[in-house]
Amino acid sequence: RFHDSLDEAEIIRDALKGENHAPDVQPLITILPGLTHEQILDLRAEYKKIVKTGHERKGVNIAKHIKLRLKDEDPNLMKACYAVALGRWESEAYWANFWYQGEKSRRELLIESLMGRSNREIQKIQDGFSDKKYRDSLRQCMDKELKEDKFKKAVLLVLDEKKMEESRRIDGELLREDIRQLEKCVTSEKGGESRMIDIVCTRSDTHLREVLRGYEERYGKNFAREMLRKSTNLVGELLAHILNGIINKPVRDAILVHHALTLSTRDSLRTELLISRLVRYHWDRKHLEEIKREYRARYGIEMQDAVSQGVRGDLGRFLEGLCMWRESDRVREM
């Protein structure tokens, strides 16, 4: 089906209309998973034009309308639809924010929304953050909500957009120094985590790739593994997420989808991890196809089949929709 944002806005308006009966979720399941970030922005703009509220006839935010109508009917489907309706960057800000509003144990949501991103992406996520309590500042929120430790230091370092820009030219001197420093970090009796954070969180992907290669060449060991032996805590988890993305992002992300599916269905974190991961990957169609290829190779099943077997009902159909290849993707790529 081809995208027409006015047509879609009208269909969703009719599906969410009324307060005395349950909303019709089918159009949300059919329409939302197939839209690109730009198409979501178009849909949001059209929705504001045709759905008004109050004396001032103010345009209604489609994401907020979805949240309002679905939160009591189907809270999990609401989270998935709401995150997609926010678009690519606001949804990342939502997961970072969601972490502190829910149980503080959900650090994965925070790590995966912010770590291993370019400065430009971090800027877009920060622009998409809204919380009046923190004057719409994600940095202020994290500064206040995270306890003083190295994990917080890493998060603030990333939010300060200190990452080195990508370049084909590698600074040989810095490369050798980083390799030397990292070896010192993992072999020292105490300390070393702060230095590892500085290097892993602020170097460019190209530079880090060379660091990993050079480390193995020089010391005959895999730095990511050595680091995890040294840091068995949240800092280790955060650094591993970045390094695994440097080594092979599609493999890392296929493993993360599988990990979420293998959690107990009684674990409330399972649904949030699955929703946040699939919503995140579906924005980048090329990357999504690579993840699906790796998933099939590793687990011997199509990822969308694993998702539909692992999650029942409307939410399962919505998440399966996020995994689908669409004809319009081919049209866009040509």
The pLDDT-based confidence of 326 (bands split at 50, 70, 90) is low
**Amino acid identity, residue 115?**
M
How confident is the model at residue 332, as a pLDDT?
42
CATH superfamily of 172-247: Annexin (1.10.220.10)
- What CA–CA distances, in Å, run from 239 to 16, 217, 236? 42, 21, 5
User: What pLDDT shows up at residue 248?
Assistant: 98
pLDDT band at 190 (very low <50, low <70, confident <90, very high): confident
The rounded percent of the chain whose pLDDT value lies above 90 is 87
Measured distance CA(322)–CA(275) in Å, rounded: 10
**pLDDT above 60 for 104:** no
Residue 334 has pLDDT above 90, yes or no: no
For the segment(s) 5-86, the CATH number from 1.10.220.10, 3.30.2350.10, 1.10.760.10, 3.40.50.1460 is: 1.10.220.10
Tokens of 6: 């006015």
Q: Looking at the domain covering 89-160, what would its CATH class be?
A: mainly alpha
Backbone angles phi, psi at 59, to 5 degrees: -65, 140
- Residues 6 or more apart whose CB falls under 8 angstroms from that of 333 comprise 285
Mean pLDDT of 21-26: 94
When pLDDT is averaged across residues 317-334 and rounded to a whole number, the result is 70
Q: What is the mean pLDDT of residues 3-16?
A: 95
pLDDT at 98: 81
**Residue listed under structure tokens 């004396």:** 55
**What residue ranges of the chain are covered by domains with CATH 1.10.220.10?**
5-86, 172-247, 250-323
pLDDT reported for residue 106: 78
Q: Using CA atoms, how far apart are residues 192 and 190, in angstroms rounded to an integer?
A: 7
| Tokens 């070896």 found at | 183
224-270 residue pLDDT tens: 999 999 998 999 999 999 999 999 999 999 999 999 999 998 888 89
What pLDDT, on a 0 to 100 scale, did the predictor assign at position 102? 63
CATH class held by domain 250-323: mainly alpha
What's the whole-number mean pLDDT along residues 88-107? Answer: 82
Using 50, 70 and 90 to split pLDDT, how confident is the model at 331?
very low
pLDDT at 20: 82
As a whole number of angstroms, the distance between CA 255 and CA 296 comes to: 11
Task: Kindly give, in sequence order, each residue whose CB lies less than 8 Å from that of residue 271, ignoring residues fewer than 6 positions away.
Answer: 76, 79, 311, 315
pLDDT over 70 percentage in the chain: 95
Please give the full DSSP string across 114-132, using - where no structure is assigned.
HTT--HHHHHHHHHT---G
The pLDDT mean for the chain works out to 93
Radius of gyration, CA atoms only, the chain: 21
Q: Is 299 left (phi over 0), alpha (psi -120 to 50) or beta?
A: alpha
Lowest-confidence segment of 103-117, 179-193, 238-252 by average pLDDT: 103-117
What does the pLDDT look like over 31-87, one tens digit per residue? 999 999 999 999 999 999 999 998 889 999 999 999 999 999 999 999 999 999 999
Cα 19 vs. chain centroid, distance in angstroms? 32
User: CB–CB of 220/182 below 8 Å?
Assistant: no
- Average pLDDT on 182-206 reads 96
Residue 116 token pair:
């291993």
Q: Where are the alpha helices (DSSP H) in 263-312?
A: 268-282, 285-299, 303-310
- Determine the Cα angle at 234 with ends 159 and 241, to 5°: 65
Q: How many CB atoms lie within 10 A of CB 3?
A: 15
